[in-house]
C-alpha cells in the first residue's frame, strides 16, 4: 500500500522550492502517493510537479528580501497564524502519512496540533557551535563597524536567535505548546531532520540524516555565445536571493583579467552593456566550465560549484549564506569576503582561487565526496522510518 507524503515548499527563494521538488521527483510512485504544495508564483519554476499539486501561501520574495536587508524578522505573528490555518486545512484535505517541509516555521505549530509526522529539510550548518557563527551583514555592522560588533557578537547572537523565535513562540503559547529555545529549534523542529549536505563539508551537533547535496539546475538553454568562450571562465551569480548590490564591484574587479566573465542575473538586475549575461543558465554546466564561481556563498550555488570541483569566492550577506560560506572557507575550498569588499579585494580573491593548487584540489576532493552520496536513496530510507507523529504536552 502506498504511503501519502505532502511536501510544503516555502517559495521565498528558489532553493526552498527546488530542493523539495528534486526529492519529490526521486520517489518511487509505486510506493509513494506524492502531494506537492507551493505558492502559485512558483509555477514557472516548478513546471510539472509530481503527484497532485496544491496552492500554498508564501510571502513574496521582495518582501522577504526587504525584511532581511533591514535585519528584521522573516515572519511576523499574523503571517504565521495565517500559515498555520492554511496548513491545518491542507492536512485535513490530504491526510498525509508524513509531511516534508523546508523553511515553513509554521509547521512548529500545525504539525503537533494536527498530530502529523513531520520531516524537516534544513542545512546542518545551523547546528554548529555558536562560537563558530560568522557575523552576517546586518545593518548594525554597517553602522558600528565589524570590530565593534565582533566584541559583543557572542553575547548578542544568543539574544538575536531567541528574538527571531518570538513570533513562533507566541503562536505556540496560544496553542498550548511548549516554547522553543531559539531560531535553531524553530529551523530544526520535526520528527526527523534531513540535512541536504555532505558531512565531509558540514557538521551538525544534533541528530539528523545527511542526504548529500540535493542538486538542481534550471532547464535553460546555453546562450548562443557559449561555444565562443576561449579563456578561463569566471561564473558570476547571486541566485534568487543574494546581494545583487555587489555585482558592480565584482564586474569592476574582473575588468582587465584574462578571463571570460559569464553572468546569470536570475532576472534581478540588468547587466552592463558588453557583459555576457543571461537570466538563467544551467548552473551545473556553468560551474563545470568555470575556473571559479563568484556568488553569495549560499548553499545552493556553493554546493553546486563544489560538486563540479570548482572553488568559490563568496560574498554572503544573510546569516544562512554566511554559515554556508564559512563551511566552504574552513574546508579550504573557497574564499569568503564581506559584501562591502573592494574591487581590489575581490580581484585578489578571484586570482587566488584560479591559481591556488591546494584550494583547487580541495574543491575537487569535496566534489568527489559529494558524488558518493545518493540523496534520493537516503531520503526514501529516512521517509520510510516508522517514527510516530510528534506529540507534545501542553505548556
CB of 265 within 8 A of CB of 323?
no
**Beta strands of 250-289 (E only): which ranges?**
260-264, 276-278
pLDDT at residue 144 above 70?
no
148 pLDDT tier (thresholds 50, 70, 90):
very low
pLDDT in tens, 205-252: 999 999 999 998 888 899 999 999 999 999 999 988 888 899 999 999
Distance CA 372, CA 383 (A): 20
* Domain positions in the chain: 3-212+374-383, 226-371
pLDDT in tens, 34-53: 999 998 877 777 777 788 99
CATH number of 226-371: 3.10.20.30, 3.40.50.1970, 3.90.1300.10, 3.40.50.2000? Answer: 3.40.50.2000
Q: Output the pLDDT for position 266.
A: 85
Percent of the chain with pLDDT over 90: 71
Higher-confidence position of 154 and 255: 255
140 pLDDT tier (thresholds 50, 70, 90):
low
Strand order in the sheet with 118-121: 52-55, 32-38, 3-9, 98-102, 118-121, 192-195, 209-210
pLDDT at residue 93 above 80?
yes
pLDDT at residue 105 above 50?
yes
142 pLDDT tier (thresholds 50, 70, 90):
low
Helix (H) or strand (E) holding 263: strand 260-264
Q: Copy the grid coordinates of residue 50.
A: 509530481
The β-bridge partners of 235 are 262, 293
Q: Output the pLDDT for position 27.
A: 95
Q: Output the pLDDT for position 270.
A: 85
pLDDT at residue 384 above 50?
yes
Q: Output the pLDDT for position 287.
A: 96
**One fold for both 3-212+374-383 and 226-371?**
yes
pLDDT in tens, 9-20: 998 778 888 999
Q: Output the pLDDT for position 387.
A: 40
Q: Copy the grid coordinates of residue 208.
A: 539528523
Summarize the confidence of residues 340-364 as an average pLDDT: 97
The β-bridge partners of 210 are 195
154 pLDDT tier (thresholds 50, 70, 90):
low
Please state which of the ranges 26-30, 62-66, 110-114 shows the lowest mean pLDDT: 62-66
Q: In a 10 Å sphere around its CB, with 0-12 CB exposed, 13-18 middle and 19+ buried, how is residue 295 labelled? A: buried
CA 340 to chain centre: 22
Task: Give phi and psi for 23, each to the nearest 5.
Answer: -65, -40
Residue for cell digits 563558530? 132
Q: Output the pLDDT for position 37.
A: 94
Report pTM.
0.91
Summarize the confidence of residues 378-391 as an average pLDDT: 72
Q: Is the Cα dihedral 78, 61, 304, 201 positive or negative? A: negative
Percent of the chain with pLDDT over 70: 92
Mean pLDDT computed over every residue of the chain: 90
pLDDT in tens, 282-338: 999 999 999 999 999 999 999 999 999 999 999 998 899 999 999 999 999 999 999
Distance CA 111, CA 389 (A): 8
CB of 299 within 8 A of CB of 275?
no
Q: Output the pLDDT for position 145.
A: 54
* Domain 3-212+374-383 belongs in CATH node 3.40.50.2300: no
Summarize the confidence of residues 126-146 as an average pLDDT: 74
Summarize the confidence of residues 60-77 as an average pLDDT: 78
Amino acid at each position: 500500500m502506498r504511503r501519502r507524503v505532502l511536501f510544503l515548499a516555502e517559495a521565498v527563494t528558489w532553493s526552498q522550492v527546488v530542493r523539495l521538488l528534486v526529492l519529490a521527483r526521486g520517489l518511487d510512485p509505486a510506493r509513494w502517493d506524492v502531494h506537492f504544495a507551493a505558492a502559485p508564483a512558483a509555477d514557472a519554476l516548478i513546471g510539472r510537479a509530481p503527484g497532485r499539486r496544491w496552492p500554498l501561501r508564501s510571502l513574496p520574495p521582495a518582501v522577504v528580501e526587504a525584511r532581511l536587508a533591514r535585519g528584521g524578522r522573516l515572519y511576523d505573528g499574523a503571517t504565521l497564524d495565517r500559515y498555520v490555518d492554511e496548513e491545518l486545512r491542507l492536512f485535513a484535505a490530504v491526510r498525509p502519512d508524513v509531511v516534508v517541509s523546508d523553511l515553513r516555521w509554521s509547521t512548529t505549530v500545525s504539525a503537533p496540533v494536527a498530530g502529523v509526522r513531520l520531516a524537516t529539510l534544513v542545512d546542518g550548518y545551523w547546528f554548529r557551535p555558536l562560537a563558530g557563527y560568522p557575523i552576517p551583514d546586518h545593518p548594525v555592522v554597517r553602522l558600528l563597524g565589524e570590530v565593534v560588533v565582533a566584541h559583543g557578537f557572542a553575547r548578542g547572537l544568543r539574544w538575536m536567535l531567541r528574538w527571531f523565535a518570538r513570533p513562533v513562540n507566541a503562536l505556540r503559547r496560544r496553542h498550548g505548546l511548549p516554547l522553543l529555545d531559539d531560531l535553531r529549534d524553530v529551523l530544526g523542529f520535526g520528527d526527523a531532520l534531513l540535512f541536504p549536505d555532505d558531512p565531509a563539508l558540514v557538521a551538525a551537533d544534533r541528530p539528523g540524516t545527511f542526504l548529500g547535496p540535493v542538486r538542481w539546475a534550471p532547464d535553460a538553454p546555453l546562450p548562443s555565445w557559449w561555444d565562443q568562450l576561449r579563456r578561463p571562465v569566471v561564473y558570476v551569480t547571486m541566485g534568487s536571493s543574494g546581494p545583487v548590490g555587489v555585482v558592480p564591484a565584482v564586474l569592476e574587479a574582473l575588468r582587465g583579467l584574462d578571463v571570460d566573465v559569464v553572468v546569470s542575473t536570475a532576472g534581478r538586475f540588468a547587466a552592463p552593456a558588453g557583459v555576457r549575461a543571461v537570466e538563467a543558465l544551467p548552473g551545473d554546466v556553468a560551474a563545470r566550465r568555470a575556473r571559479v564561481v563568484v556568488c553569495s556563498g549560499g548553499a545552493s550555488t556553493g554546493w553546486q560549484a563544489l560538486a563540479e570541483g570548482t572553488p568559490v569566492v563568496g560574498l554572503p550577506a544573510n546569516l544562512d549564506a554566511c554559515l554556508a560560506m564559512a563551511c566552504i572557507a574552513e574546508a579550504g575550498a573557497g574564499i569568503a569576503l564581506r559584501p562591502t569588499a573592494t574591487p581590489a579585494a575581490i580581484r585578489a580573491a578571484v586570482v587566488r582561487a584560479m591559481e591556488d593548487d591546494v584550494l583547487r584540489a580541495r574543491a575537487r576532493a569535496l566534489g568527489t565526496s559529494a558524488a558518493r552520496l545518493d540523496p534520493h536513496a537516503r531520503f526514501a530510507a529516512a521517509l520510510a522510518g516508522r517514527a510516530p507523529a510528534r506529540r507534545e504536552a501542553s505548556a
